[in-house]
Amino acid sequence: MLNNNVIKDKIIESLKTVYYPNFKKNIIELGLVRDIKVENKIIEFSLNLLNDSYSLKDIMKTSCLLAIYNNISKDFNIKINISIISNDNLNNNSLSKFKNIIAIASGKGGVGKSTFSSNLSIVLSKVGYKVGLIDADIFGPSIPMIFNCSYESPQFIKINNKNYMIPINQYGIKLISIGFLIPLENAVVWRGPMATSAFRQFILDTLWGELDYLIIDLPPGTSDIHISLVQTLFITGVIIITTPQKLSILDARKGLEMFKQKKINIPVLGIIENQSYFSPEDMPDKKYYIFGSGGGNILSNENNVILLGNIPIIQSIREGSDDGYPVVMKKGKVFEIFKKLIFSLLRQINIVDNFS
């Protein structure tokens, strides 16, 4: 017969398998379990939930019960006392506020990833969602320019003796970028760990508030930032951006394979083929495939991943980014293209939720 102290240790080990939604930590690591008692085949403990997560009560309770039954015994009568705590009492509190986290990735630079991230964020906001955008390209930030706020600086606020950043709010989107913290003309010459540390601060030390979507504009390639992303957050999924060009498809394929690896295992929500074709304004029905054609379809079919859509080369998209006023701020052809993409994206997110 196991003594009570041994049983307590086994309870703790069992509850380490229960993870809090949107965290990369279990409920023991987060300090959510309190006052474990064992007496006469009765196990009792307190479980704290964040004040914006009360709807998780039954799910978390069931997960704890199953963890104990599966790893110890079904002979115990288990009593779990649920209580609600303020987010301020939990480290990394901002993570609990993200309903969906979507990473935008590409195998190579110059395929329009930041432009896509910006326009996607704005259209999501325009159709009624609360949106935040992290510019995770530490060495080549472009979000401040696209949003016409290159010379803005975030404010800081101290909570429980710790400084938190307040995101820049532009066009209804909450923004964080290294470009807000370092002068525009300065190059960022950092080693990988420094860049990773900055990225973690963007996530953990920023007062995002409640967001329906946090969009993360990743740097090109496969770097420390990508690994840090996986270690820090539960990602809803990733969108791969490519052009139809063979070289772009080659690199996009590598990026896609990275997210499919067992150690990373982030769902790929879909592929966007950017710069698909060019149609002159005076001949809108004429299509010139400057970078080739069909690359996005090939990548999609090879990996059994949906092609969310094709974005043509349109001068107003480039002008909007250069001018700091993204083209989808005005309703028109491009807005409708992105709106259609978003509905395809939302369908994919629901599929992921149903099978996760």
Report pLDDT digits (tens) over 323-344. 999 999 988 888 998 988 888 8
Instruction: Quote the pLDDT of residue 91.
Output: 44
Instruction: Quote the pLDDT of residue 222.
Output: 63
Instruction: Quote the pLDDT of residue 307.
Output: 93
Other beta carbons less than 10 A from residue 68's beta carbon = 23
- Residue range 75-101: mean pLDDT, rounded: 68
pLDDT higher than threshold 50 for residue 137: yes
Integer Cα distance of 101 and 132 in angstroms? 10
Q: Whole-model pTM?
A: 0.70
Instruction: Quote the pLDDT of residue 122.
Output: 93
Integer Cα distance of 71 and 208 in angstroms? 37
Instruction: Quote the pLDDT of residue 1.
Output: 56
pLDDT higher than threshold 90 for residue 76: no
pLDDT higher than threshold 60 for residue 189: no
* pLDDT confidence band for 175 (50 / 70 / 90): very high
- Residue range 308-332: mean pLDDT, rounded: 90
Q: Does 186 or 305 have the greater pLDDT score?
A: 305
Select from 309, 337, 334 the least CA-distant residue to 321.
334
Structural domains of the chain, ranges and CATH numbers in brackets: 4-88 (3.30.300.130), 93-355 (3.40.50.300)
Report pLDDT digits (tens) over 242-278.
Answer: 999 988 899 888 888 888 877 777 889 999 999 999 9
* pLDDT confidence band for 124 (50 / 70 / 90): very high
Partners of residue 84 on adjacent β-strands? 49
* pLDDT confidence band for 221 (50 / 70 / 90): low
pLDDT higher than threshold 80 for residue 88: no
Structure tokens at 39: 């007496």
- Average model confidence (pLDDT) across the chain: 82
pLDDT higher than threshold 50 for residue 54: yes
Instruction: Quote the pLDDT of residue 94.
Output: 40
**8 A C-beta contact, residue 325 and residue 288:** no
Instruction: Quote the pLDDT of residue 171.
Output: 93
Question: In this structure, what is the dihedral angle of CA atoms 144, 123, 211, 273, given to the nearest 10 degrees?
Answer: -80
Q: Does 295 or 183 have the greater pLDDT score?
A: 295
pLDDT higher than threshold 90 for residue 90: no
**8 A C-beta contact, residue 83 and residue 90:** no
**8 A C-beta contact, residue 286 and residue 312:** no
Report pLDDT digits (tens) over 235-245.
Answer: 888 999 999 99
Q: Does 328 or 182 have the greater pLDDT score?
A: 328
pLDDT higher than threshold 80 for residue 223: no
* pLDDT confidence band for 215 (50 / 70 / 90): very high
How remote is the C-alpha of 69 from its chain's centroid? 33
Q: Does 92 or 182 have the greater pLDDT score?
A: 182
Instruction: Quote the pLDDT of residue 93.
Output: 43
Instruction: Quote the pLDDT of residue 355.
Output: 43
Name the percent of the chain lying above pLDDT 70: 84
**8 A C-beta contact, residue 275 and residue 291:** yes
* pLDDT confidence band for 208 (50 / 70 / 90): confident
